[in-house]
C-alpha cells in the first residue's frame, strides 16, 4: 500500500474510533434518563417533566431524591473508571484498579475513621479522611512496585492483602463506635447510593471532575508509560514526578467516588477494559471513554438494584460484583494463556 493509501486508512480508522467515542459519551445521558424514570413511586419521567414548572410531590421526588442519586451514580462511575485506567497505566498491569489494589478499601477506612475516631459529622472531614486513606494505600502500592522492580502479579496480590487488611481495620473500628456510628458506616461494606444528596454530589464533583482535564492533558505521557520507564524518560518524561502526581489524582478521584457511597468494586477494573476494546489504548480517547462507560455501568447497576426486587433495593456493590467477578477471572486466565 502506498503512502496516500496508508494515510487514508489511518484517517478512516481514527474516524471510526471517534464515532464510537461519541456514542459512548451519550451512554451516561441515556442511563440517567432511565434512572430518573425508575423508582418506587408511581411517577414516571413524563410526570416529572410536567411537574418541573410547578411545586408538588412529583417535583420534590425528582429534584430531591432521584436527580441527586443519578448525578452521584454518574460521578462515582466516572471517578472509579478513570482512576482504574490511570492505575493500569502507572503499574502497566491490566488487573490494576482501585478495588484490586486496596485503594478503595483504604478510602473507606479513612472515612470510617473520621466518623468513629474523630467524630466527623460533616461531609468535608469524611471526604478528607477518605482521601488520606486512599492516598496512603496508593503510596504503599507504588512503593512496592518500585521496590526491586516487583512483578505485576506481586503488586496485585499485595493490593488484595491491603484490601483485606483495611476491611478488617474498618470492622475493628466499628466495634469501637456507638450504635449510631455503626449504622452510619455499615453501608460501606455493600456500596449504596441511598445517602446521595446535593451536598454529597457537590463535594464528590469537586473531587472527581477537576482531575479529568489534567489527565487528558497528560494522556500522551500515559501512553509513553505503557512502553516502559526508560522509553518515557528518553522521550523527556519525568517518570517519578509524573507517577506521583498521577497517584495523587487517582486517589482523589477514588476518595470522591466512594466517600459517600461505600466501596463499589470492579468498576475501575471493568470499565477501562471495555473502553479499551472499543476505542483502543490511546489515553486521549481512553480516559473520556472510560469515564463514560463507568458512569453508564454504575447508573445501570443502580437501576438494576432498584428494579429487580422492587420495592426492595439491592446494594449497588452487590450488583457490580456480579458483573466484575466473571470479568476479573476472564482477564486473569486470558493473561495466563498469553504468558
Domains of the chain, first to last:
57-338 (1.10.3470.10)
First to last CA, the chain: 33
Per the omega criterion (within 30 degrees of 0), is the bond before 285 cis?
A: no
Q: What is the pLDDT of residue 82?
A: 96
Specify the pLDDT at position 241. 83
| Per-residue model confidence (pLDDT) at position 312 | 84
Phi, psi of 77 (to 5 degrees): -60, -40
CA-based R_g, the chain, Å? 21
SS (H, E, C) 238-263: CHHHHHHHHHHHHHHHHHHHHCCCCC
Write down the pLDDT at residue 337: 56
- Low pLDDT (below 50) residues in the chain: 339
* Rounded CA separation 110/252 (Å): 13
Residue owning grid cell 473520556: 288
Element at 53 (helix H, strand E): none
The torsion defined by the Cα of 114, 186, 314 and 24, in degrees rounded to 10, comes to: 20
Helices (H), the chain: 3-36, 45-51, 57-61, 67-91, 103-116, 123-146, 152-176, 179-185, 198-208, 211-217, 219-225, 229-234, 239-258, 267-279, 283-307, 316-338
Burial zone of 280 (CB within 10 Å; 0-12 exposed, 13-18 middle, 19+ buried): middle
Per-residue pLDDT tens digits for 131-165: 999 888 988 887 877 775 555 567 778 888 888 89
182 within 8 A of 112, measured Cβ to Cβ: no
Question: Count of residues for the chain?
Answer: 339
* Tens-digit pLDDT profile for residues 30-58: 999 888 888 766 666 666 666 666 667 77
pLDDT at site 154: 75
Amino acid at each position: 500500500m502506498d503512502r496516500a493509501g496508508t494515510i487514508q486508512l489511518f484517517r478512516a480508522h481514527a474516524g471510526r474510533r471517534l464515532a464510537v467515542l461519541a456514542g459512548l459519551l451519550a451512554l451516561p445521558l441515556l442511563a440517567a434518563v432511565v434512572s430518573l424514570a425508575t423508582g418506587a413511586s408511581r411517577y414516571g419521567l413524563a410526570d416529572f417533566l410536567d411537574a418541573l414548572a410547578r411545586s408538588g410531590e412529583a417535583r420534590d421526588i425528582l429534584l430531591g431524591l432521584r436527580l441527586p442519586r443519578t448525578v452521584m451514580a454518574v460521578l462515582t462511575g466516572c471517578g472509579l473508571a478513570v482512576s482504574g485506567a490511570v492505575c493500569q497505566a502507572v503499574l502497566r498491569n491490566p488487573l490494576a484498579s482501585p478495588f484490586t489494589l486496596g485503594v478503595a478499601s483504604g478510602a473507606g477506612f479513612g472515612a470510617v475513621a473520621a466518623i468513629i475516631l474523630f467524630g466527623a459529622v460533616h461531609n468535608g472531614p469524611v471526604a478528607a479522611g477518605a482521601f488520606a486513606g486512599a492516598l496512603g494505600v496508593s503510596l504503599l502500592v507504588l512503593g512496592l512496585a518500585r521496590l526491586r522492580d516487583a512483578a505485576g502479579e506481586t503488586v496485585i496480590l499485595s493490593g488484595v492483602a491491603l484490601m483485606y487488611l483495611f476491611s478488617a481495620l474498618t470492622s475493628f473500628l466499628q466495634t469501637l463506635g456507638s450504635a449510631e456510628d455503626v449504622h452510619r458506616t455499615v453501608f460501606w461494606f455493600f456500596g449504596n447510593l441511598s445517602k446521595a444528596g446535593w451536598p454529597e454530589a457537590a463535594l464528590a464533583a469537586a473531587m472527581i471532575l477537576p482531575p479529568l482535564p489534567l489527565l487528558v492533558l497528560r494522556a500522551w505521557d500515559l501512553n509513553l508509560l505503557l512502553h516502559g520507564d526508560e522509553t518515557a524518560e528518553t522521550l523527556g518524561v519525568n517518570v517519578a514526578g509524573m507517577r506521583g502526581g498521577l497517584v495523587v489524582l487517582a486517589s482523589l478521584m477514588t476518595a470522591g467516588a466512594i466517600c459517600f457511597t461505600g466501596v463499589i468494586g470492579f468498576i475501575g477494573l471493568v470499565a477501562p477494559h471495555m473502553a479499551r476494546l472499543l476505542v483502543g489504548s490511546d489515553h486521549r480517547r481512553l480516559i473520556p471513554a472510560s469515564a463514560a462507560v463507568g458512569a453508564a455501568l454504575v447508573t445501570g447497576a443502580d437501576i438494576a438494584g432498584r428494579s429487580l426486587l422492587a420495592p426492595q433495593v439491592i446494594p449497588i456493590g452487590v450488583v457490580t460484583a456480579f458483573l466484575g467477578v466473571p470479568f476479573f477471572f476472564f482477564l486473569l486466565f486470558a493473561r495466563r494463556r498469553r504468558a
